[in-house]
C-alpha cells in the first residue's frame, strides 16, 4: 500500500507541477516564442516556391459544409439583408492604404475570381472540403495601395459572439498569398448563412478560426496591440488560442 501511495503522490505532484508551470508567465512567453518559430519554419520549409495548401478535385467536396462558432448575425438588419441578397453590403478597405476602398457585392463579383477546392481544418479536429470562389485579397489590397508600414491585415466581421465582435488578423505574407481570397461562393452557390454569408475570408494555410465570416472590413495596421484585446483575434483574446494557427 505504501508503494501505491508513493506512486499516487508522484502523480499528484506531477499534475500540480504542470498546473504551476502552465499558469506561469515564462511558460506563456515560451509558448509565444515557439509560435514565432513555427511560423518561420513553415515558411522556410517551402523554399523556392510559395507554399500552397493542397487543392482537391471538385468531386472530393464534402456532401455539406459544417458551420461552427457564429452561425448567423443575430440582427433584424442582417436577416433582411440575407433575404434581399445583400444589395447594400459593403466591404471597407482602410488603415495603412493610399486609397481607402468600399466595395459593393456587385463590384466584388466583377473582380477577377479565383476558385479553389480546399480542406478546412477546425482547431477542434474535424475537416471539411469545399469549393470557394472570390477575388484574391491581394487584388483588393493592390487596388487600395499598401503603405510601407503595414504589417498586419485585420478582418472586421458583423457577427457578435458572447458579447464581442468577431475579428481576426494575419501577417502580410498570408494576406498577399495567392490562395487568400474573399469568398462569396461555396460550391458554386452564394455563401450559406452558417458559413458566413455574404463574405468569408479563406486563409488556407491556417486553422478554421482564422477564416472570419460575415466580413465587413479589412484594415491594414502596423501593430495589433490596440485592437480589442490586443492578441489579434476573437479567440486569441478570449480563449488563448495561438495567433499563428498553422499548427
Partner 1 sequence: MANAPAKPKKRHALGTRIWHWVNLVSVTILFMSGLNISNAHRRLYWGDWGFAAEHAWLEVPRFPGWATIPGYYSLAAARDWHVLFAWVFALGLLVFMISAVRNGHFKRDLFTRLAEWRPANIWHDIREHLRFNFEHEGTKFNFLQKVAYSKVIFLLLPLMIFTGMVMSPGMEASWPWLTDIFGGRQSARSIHFICAWLLFLFLVVHVVLVLLSGPARQIRDMITGGRNDEAA
The H or E element spanning position 141 is helix 137-144
46 binds partner 1 (CB under 8 A): yes
Which span sits near partner 1 by CB under 8 A: 51-59, 133-141, 148-156, 226-234?
A: 51-59
Pick out residues in 173-192 that bind partner 1 (CB under 8 A): none
Instruction: Pick between residue 133 and residue 180 the one whose CB is nearest to partner 1.
Output: 180
Helices (H), 158-233: 172-175
Q: How many residues bind partner 1 (CB under 8 A)?
A: 46
Grid coordinates in use for 219?
484594415
Instruction: Pick between residue 60 and residue 88 the one whose CB is nearest to partner 1.
Output: 60
Q: What is the 3-state secondary structure (H, E, C) of 94-136?
A: EECECCCEEEEHHHHHHCCCEEEEEEEECCCCCEEEEEEEECE
Q: What is the 3-state secondary structure (H, E, C) of 7-42?
A: HHHHHHHHHHHHHHHHCCHHHHHHHHHHHHHHHHHH
Minimum distance, C-beta of residue 179 to partner 1, in the bound complex (Å)? 9
Pick out residues in 65-94 that bind partner 1 (CB under 8 A): 66
Q: Are 45 and 51 in contact (CB under 8 A)?
A: yes
Which span sits near partner 1 by CB under 8 A: 22-30, 70-78, 141-149, 220-228?
A: 22-30
Instruction: Pick between residue 54 and residue 112 the one whose CB is nearest to partner 1.
Output: 54
Q: Which residues contact 26 (CB under 8 A, 6 or more apart)?
A: none
Pick out residues in 112-171 that bind partner 1 (CB under 8 A): 119, 121-129
Among candidates 120, 4, 142, 11, which has minimal Cα distance to 56?
120
β-pair partners for 167: 156
Which span sits near partner 1 by CB under 8 A: 18-26, 91-99, 144-152, 190-198?
A: 18-26
Grid coordinates in use for 49?
516556391
Task: List contacts with partner 1 (CB under 8 A).
Answer: 14-15, 18-19, 22, 27, 30-31, 34, 38-39, 42-43, 45-46, 51-54, 56, 60, 62, 66, 119, 121-129, 204-207, 235, 239-242, 244-247
Amino acid at each position: 500500500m505504501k508503494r501505491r501511495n508513493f506512486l499516487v503522490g508522484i502523480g499528484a505532484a506531477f499534475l500540480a507541477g504542470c498546473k504551476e508551470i502552465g499558469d506561469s508567465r515564462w511558460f506563456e512567453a515560451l509558448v509565444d516564442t515557439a509560435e514565432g518559430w513555427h511560423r518561420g519554419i513553415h515558411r522556410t520549409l517551402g523554399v523556392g516556391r510559395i507554399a500552397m495548401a493542397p487543392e482537391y478535385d471538385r468531386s472530393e467536396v464534402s456532401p455539406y459544409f459544417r458551420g461552427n462558432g457564429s452561425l448567423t448575425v443575430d440582427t433584424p438588419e442582417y436577416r433582411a439583408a440575407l433575404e434581399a441578397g445583400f444589395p447594400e453590403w459593403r466591404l471597407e478597405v482602410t488603415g495603412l492604404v493610399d486609397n481607402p476602398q468600399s466595395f459593393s457585392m456587385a463590384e466584388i463579383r466583377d473582380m477577377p475570381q479565383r476558385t479553389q477546392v480546399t480542406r478546412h481544418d477546425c482547431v477542434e479536429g474535424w475537416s471539411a472540403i469545399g469549393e470557394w470562389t472570390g477575388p484574391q485579397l491581394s487584388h483588393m489590397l493592390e487596388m487600395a495601395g499598401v503603405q510601407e508600414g503595414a504589417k498586419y491585415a485585420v478582418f472586421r466581421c458583423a457577427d457578435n459572439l458572447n458579447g464581442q465582435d468577431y475579428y481576426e488578423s494575419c501577417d502580410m505574407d498570408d494576406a498577399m498569398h495567392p490562395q487568400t481570397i474573399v469568398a462569396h461562393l461555396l460550391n458554386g452557390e452564394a455563401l450559406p448563412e452558417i458559413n458566413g454569408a455574404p463574405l468569408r475570408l479563406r486563409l488556407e494555410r491556417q486553422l478554421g478560426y482564422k477564416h472570419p465570416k460575415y466580413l465587413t472590413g479589412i484594415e491594414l495596421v502596423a501593430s495589433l496591440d490596440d485592437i480589442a484585446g490586443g492578441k489579434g483575434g476573437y479567440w486569441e483574446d478570449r480563449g488563448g488560442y495561438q495567433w499563428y494557427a498553422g499548427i
